[in-house]
């Protein structure tokens, strides 16, 4: 089986696809925030049915899909809030994230499950770039220090702390201004030869 990580299939990103992926994120935010009446629900449902038909025409396998492969923040993986990287060295990545309305848990706070999702993606990307061989998440730990607000630009720090044999240790933080919202850590284990 081809390995996405070390043998990415050559994909052509069509003009406008990155913008489409961003619109898709907005669609999920708008859908979450809406309270449509019956007419609006019917219209929206028809439009989504058309959208499904259009996209299903180009259904492909994992190795040829475009989502997750784009050279833009978030890589067009619309399940995960996009990490906008501003500076990066081999050991530290800094940037911002904004959890849109679709990531609402309750009372203005980001859903507790969205935060490990974000860190798995941010850690996973960092554990597997800078010429590092393929590693998978073995564990993730998240401390929710303060409420993480939705619809707010938040500062993110991701660190590649150390490597011990096949084990890679990463840590991260999310800040809302001076307020520490989240501390996270993760262990990524380099795959044994032949493991997928
Ligand atoms: C340009 C490129 C861009 C790329 C962008 C991509 C972005 C993508 C972003 C998305 C990325 C998302 C990424 C994803 O989401 S990856 C998907 C989520 N993760 C998985 O599905 C992984 C499932 N688990 C496994 O496959 C195996 O268990 C692994 C491979 C992890 C280890 O099994 P393996 O048989 O290989 O290893 P071992 O058992 O010999 O252990 C080796 C060492 O590790 C230690 N250990 C193991 N487990 C744990 C644990 N839980 N806590 C503490 N320690 C643990 C163990 O004690 C031992 O230590 P030591 O005795 O040597 O000291």
Can you tell me the mean pLDDT for 32-60? Answer: 98
Q: Tell me how far the alpha carbon of residue 168 lies from the centroid of ligand 1, in angstroms.
A: 9
The rounded Å distance from CA 195 to ligand 1 centre is: 11
Same domain, 129 and 173: yes
Q: Which of 34, 51, 79 is the last residue of a domain?
A: 79
Query: Do 91 and 184 belong to one domain?
Result: yes
For ligand 1, is residue 166 a contact (CB within 6 Å)?
yes
Provide the domain count of the chain. Answer: 2
**For ligand 1, atom 59, which residue shows the shortest CA distance?**
167
Please check the confidence at residue 9 and state whether its pLDDT lies above 90: no
**CATH number of the domain enclosing 113:** 3.10.129.10
- Per the structure block, which two tokens stand in for 58? 């180009």
Average pLDDT over residues 123-134: 92
Residue nearest to atom 55 of ligand 1 (CA): 138
129 pocket-lining for ligand 1 (C-beta < 6 Å): yes
Q: How far is the CA of 193 from the centre of ligand 1 (A)?
A: 13
Do 56 and 149 sit in the same domain of this protein?
no
Q: What percent of the chain has pLDDT over 70?
A: 95
ipTM tops 0.85 = yes
| Predicted confidence band of residue 63 (pLDDT cuts 50, 70, 90) | confident
**195 lies in a domain?**
no
Judge if 87 and 184 occupy the same domain: yes
Contact 7 CB / ligand 1 (< 6 Å): no
125 lines ligand 1 (CB under 6 A): yes
Task: Name the residue range of residue 120's domain.
Answer: 80-190
- Residues for the chain: how many in total? 196
**HSE-up (13 A, CA, CB side) for residue 58:** 8
Cα 82 to Cα 76: distance, rounded to the nearest angstrom: 8
Residues 90 and 164 in one domain: yes
Task: Supply the mean pLDDT for the chain.
Answer: 93
Q: Could you give the percent of the chain with pLDDT greater than 90?
A: 84
12 pLDDT tier (thresholds 50, 70, 90): confident
Verify that 21 and 50 share a domain, yes or no. yes
The tens digit of pLDDT for each residue in 70-94 reads 888 999 999 999 999 999 999 999 9
Rounded average pLDDT over 30-34: 98
């Amino acid at each position: 089986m081809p390995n996405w990580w070390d043998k990415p299939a050559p994909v052509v990103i069509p003009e406008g696809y990155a913008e489409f992926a961003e619109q898709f994120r907005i669609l999920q935010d708008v859908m979450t925030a809406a309270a449509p009446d019956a007419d609006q629900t019917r219209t929206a449902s028809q439009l989504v049915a058309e959208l499904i038909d259009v996209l299903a025409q180009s259904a492909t396998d994992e190795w040829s899909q475009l989502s997750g492969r784009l050279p833009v923040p978030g890589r067009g993986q619309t399940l995960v809030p996009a990490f906008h990287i501003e500076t990066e060295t081999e050991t530290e990545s800094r940037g911002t994230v904004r959890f849109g309305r679709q990531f609402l848990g309750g009372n203005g706070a980001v859903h507790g499950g969205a935060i490990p999702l974000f860190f798995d993606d941010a850690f996973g990307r960092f554990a597997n770039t800078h010429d590092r061989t393929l590693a998978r998440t073995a564990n993730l730990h998240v401390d929710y220090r303060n409420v993480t607000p939705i619809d707010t630009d938040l500062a993110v720090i991701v660190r590649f702390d150390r490597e011990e044999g096949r084990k890679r240790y990463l840590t991260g933080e999310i800040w809302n201004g001076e307020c520490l919202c989240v501390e996270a850590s993760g262990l990524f284990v380099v795959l044994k030869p032949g493991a997928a």
